[in-house]
């Protein structure tokens, strides 16, 4: 399944949120954003950080895609594939719920 198809399969109306026990925060010591999960630590790159900043348990996947596509002037379909693929990967790791 392609990333764009995955986004459609999940549904743009779905509201991504962090799984229980997962925290997304800026670490002053490392001067970087991090995802803290039980017994795991993820250091997202700049693009992933911008996506994760919008995962608040209130915005729909479609709203996140729209926001990022507008802000970074990227075609919406391309952004949908990137955002859907990244969130799917994190969902498979138990970090986010879709």
Please return the burial class of 35, using the count of CB atoms within 10 Å of its CB with bins 0-12, 13-18 and 19+. buried
Q: What is the reported pLDDT for 9?
A: 60
Domain that holds residue 25: 3-93
Q: Check residue 58 and give its pLDDT.
A: 98
Digit-coded pLDDT (tens) for 35-85: 999 999 999 999 999 999 999 999 999 999 999 999 999 999 999 999 999
Q: What is the CATH number of the domain that holds 73?
A: 1.10.10.1150
Would you say the pTM of this structure is higher than 0.75?
A: yes
Q: Is residue 98 part of a domain?
A: no
Looking up tokens 């001067």 gives 31
For residue 5, pLDDT beyond 50: no
- How many structural domains are present in the chain? 1
Q: What is the three-class DSSP state of 32?
A: strand
CB distance 96 to 18 below 8 Å: yes
């Amino acid at each position: 399944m392609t990333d764009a198809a995955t986004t459609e399969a999940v549904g743009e109306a779905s509201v991504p949120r962090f799984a229980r026990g997962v925290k997304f925060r800026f670490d002053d010591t490392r001067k970087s954003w991090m995802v803290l999960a039980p017994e795991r630590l993820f250091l997202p790159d700049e693009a992933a950080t911008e996506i994760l900043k919008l995962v608040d348990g209130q915005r729909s996947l479609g709203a996140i895609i729209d926001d990022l596509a507008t802000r970074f002037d990227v075609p919406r379909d391309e952004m949908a594939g990137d955002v859907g693929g990244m969130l799917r990967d994190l969902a498979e790791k138990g970090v986010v719920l879709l």
